[in-house]
Structure 1
Amino acid sequence: MTGKTHIIGGVAASLAFAQITNYEPAILLGAGVIGSLIPDICHGSSKIGRALPILSKLINGLFGHRTFTHSLLFLVIIAVLLHNFMPIEAVSAGLLVGMASHIVLDMATKRGVKLLFPLRWNVRFPLTATTGGPSEYLVFALLSLFSVYFGYGLLFSL
């Protein structure tokens, strides 16, 4: 998936999560967008990879793309670090929701992800989308509709 699809995925997931929690929706949303980009730190051409090129090259050299940073192990490590060092729970929750949305979206591509890293198994959905292709545009459109739906629900539940 492209960066814009990951961002709208983070928006949709954060707004949906805000429906079932008492966290401040604006904080969840901002952190969710940032979290939706974090797993691609392993790819030098990604938005976050271009922002942090040295870290991106290091992680890619150690693990490759869509391995460690797209795994449950990575999510657990980040969750533990956030729990111990992030005083604002809504930021932690938003980052993790955004990261999870990224991983789920990449599971919908032909290549899939190494969800159970360090095991070498690729995990992907039976139906996949081609990155940058018409099927990704459909995913983007659906996530946009979900974002409007959940955002509307939040707006009128206040």
Structure 2
Amino acid sequence: MTGKTHIMGGIASTVAISHFYTYEPAMFIIAGAIGGIIPDICHGGSKIGRRIPLISRVVNTIFGHRTFTHSLLFLVLMYVVLSLFISNQSFITGLLVGMISHLVLDAATKNGIKLLYPVQITIRFPLTFKTGGQMETIILLALTLVTIYYGRLIVL
């Protein structure tokens, strides 16, 4: 999936969750958008990889693309590190929700993800889509509609 779809996935996920839980909405949703692109730090051509090229190159050299940063291990480590340095639970949870939305979206692509890294098993949904293809545009539209639907119900 492309960066814009990952950002909208993070936003849609956090906006929908905000409807059911009492997280600080603005912080939660902004963190979801950021979390939506964090796993692609392993790819130099991604939105985050272009912004932080040195870290992106190092992570890609060590782990490759869609391995460690697309795994449950990465999510757990991010939670531990974030909890040590950030006290705002809305922000931490929003980042994690955004990252989870990223993993779900990438599992819907032909290349899938290494969710159980370091175990080298590729996880993908039975029905997959080409990154940047017509189906991704439909997914982006659906995520936008989810955001609008749930967004009208929350007050920032």
Query: What TM-score, normalized by structure 1, do the two folds share?
Result: 0.96
SS of structure 2 residue aligned to 1:66: coil
| RMSD, aligned α-carbons | 1.0
Q: 1:58 corresponds to which residue?
A: 58
Question: Number of residues paired by the alignment?
Answer: 156
- Provide the C-alpha distance between the structure 2 equivalents of 1:19 and 1:120, rounded to a whole number of angstroms: 37
- Secondary structure of the 1:92 match is helix
| Residue in 2 that maps onto 1:43 | 43
Give the equivalent residue in structure 2 for 1:136.
136
Alignment match, 2:107:
107
Instruction: Give the whole-Å Cα distance in 2 for the aligned partners of 1:16 and 1:102.
Output: 15
Distance 1:63 1:52 in 2: 16
Residue correspondence of structure 1 range 1-158 to structure 2 within 5 A: 1-155=1-155
Instruction: State percent identity of aligned pairs.
Output: 54
TM-score, length of structure 2 as denominator length:
0.97
**How far apart, in 2, do the equivalents of 1:9 and 1:130 lie?**
17
2:59 maps to amino acid:
I
Structure 2: stretches of 5+ with no match in the other structure: none
Deviations 1:81-119 (A, max 9, x none): 112221111110110011110011000001000000000
Task: Show structure 1 runs of 4+ deviating over 2 A.
Answer: none
List gaps (5 residues or longer) in structure 1.
none
For residues 153 and 126 of structure 2, what CA distance do their matches in structure 1 show? 31
For residues 71 and 116 of structure 1, the distance between their equivalents in structure 2, rounded to whole angstroms, comes to 6
> What is the CA deviation profile of residues 19-64 of structure 1, one whole-angstrom value per residue up to 9, with x for unaligned ones?
1221111111111111101000000000110111010000000000
Q: Structure 2 CA distance, aligned partners of 1:139 and 1:108?
A: 10
CA distance in 2, matches of 1:150, 1:114: 31
